[in-house]
């Protein structure tokens, strides 16, 4: 196998990027033994393309899994053991996903409920939560109309309670999905650095990459608006689940 150049795409969070960097250091330890050149991770380059981010993570993991186990076994048993431990770690990485809208009583709790349900059904290790950029509905249950729509489609969200987005959410979560441009602006305004900013994405860019479409606020409209929101979020959360399964090597 020719591994003259291995691209080890880094994982998203600083912690994960650090993990990949330590893997690269391990690989470099063996470099002089096998004479191959290993490329440095390029976190920023990967992060630029938000819609492909998780795909890149998944392919990085695939490259690591496929190549490393076999290649270095005869070269350095100790390093291989460390690499295997690292690969096991990658396979059990827990994702933390936050859904954000304005009031946290219509769109984001529905996105939260949908993803929670799918995570449970798939047996995945994912923490899911939701928040609003405004504080009007803190402590309240989701809007009756959104709850009713959720119930109709088998996704009850009665137990969720509103809370306001806070800066520490950037530390708690790997991905922050917002429903519209105004949510995006409000969340990004609280970002402390590029790592924080890079976690935020319009949720519909998951299902319709690069289009920057919004989940319309159904609060002042009729019942159709709530069904429409459900449909959009159902589709987006299906894709998020597929991405997480790929990252965790379960698809
Ligand atoms: P959400 O909808 O952002 O999807 O939860 C709204 C809920 C309440 C208000 C606005 C939007 N409000 O103005 O109270």
Q: How many CB atoms lie within 10 A of CB 24?
A: 18
Backbone torsions φ then ψ of 175, nearest 5 degrees: -130, 135
Q: Which amino acid residue places its CA nearest to atom 3 of ligand 1?
A: 102
Closest CA to 193 of 25, 17, 14: 14
60 and 100 fall within a common domain: no
Ligand 1 centroid, distance to 217 Cα (angstroms): 7
- 3-state class of 223 per DSSP? helix
Domain count, the chain: 2
What would the pLDDT profile of 40-82 be if each residue is shown by its tens digit?
Answer: 433 333 333 334 444 445 555 555 555 555 554 444 455 555 6
Ligand 1 centroid, distance to 108 Cα (angstroms): 10
What would the pLDDT profile of 184-213 be if each residue is shown by its tens digit?
Answer: 999 999 999 999 999 999 999 999 999 999
235 and 121 fall within a common domain: yes
Rounded Cα gap, residues 114 and 212, in angstroms: 21
Ligand 1 centroid, distance to 105 Cα (angstroms): 6
25 and 141 fall within a common domain: no
127 and 190 fall within a common domain: yes
143 and 157 fall within a common domain: yes
Active site (catalytic) residues: 101, 107, 217
Q: Is 225 in the pocket of ligand 1 (CB under 6 A)?
A: no
Q: For residue 170, is it within any domain?
A: yes
Closest CA to 179 of 233, 141, 139: 233
46 and 136 fall within a common domain: no
């Amino acid at each position: 196998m020719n591994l003259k150049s291995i691209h080890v795409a880094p994982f998203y969070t600083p912690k994960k990027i650090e993990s990949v960097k330590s893997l690269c250091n391990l690989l470099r330890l063996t470099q002089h033994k096998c004479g191959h050149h290993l490329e440095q991770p390029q976190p920023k380059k990967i992060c630029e393309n938000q819609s492909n981010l998780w795909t890149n993570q998944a392919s990085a993991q695939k490259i690591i899994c496929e190549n490393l186990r076999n290649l270095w076994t005869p070269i350095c048993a100790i390093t291989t053991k460390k690499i295997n431990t690292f690969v096991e770690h990658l396979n059990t990485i827990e994702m933390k996903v936050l859904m954000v809208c304005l009031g946290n009583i219509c769109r984001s709790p529905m996105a939260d409920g949908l993803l929670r349900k799918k995570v449970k059904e798939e047996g995945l290790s994912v923490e899911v939560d939701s928040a609003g950029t405004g504080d009007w509905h803190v402590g309240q249950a989701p809007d009756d109309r959104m709850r009713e729509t959720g119930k109709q489609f088998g996704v009850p969200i009665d137990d969720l309670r509103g809370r306001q987005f806070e800066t520490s959410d950037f530390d708690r979560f790997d991905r922050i999905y917002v429903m519209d441009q105004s949510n995006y602006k409000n969340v990004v305004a609280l970002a402390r650095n590029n790592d924080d900013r890079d976690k935020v994405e319009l949720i519909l860019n998951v299902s319709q990459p690069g289009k920057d479409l919004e989940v319309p606020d159904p609060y002042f409209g009729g019942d159709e608006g709530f069904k429409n929101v459900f449909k959009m979020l159902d589709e987006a959360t299906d894709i998020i689940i597929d991405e997480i399964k790929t990252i965790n090597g379960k698809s």
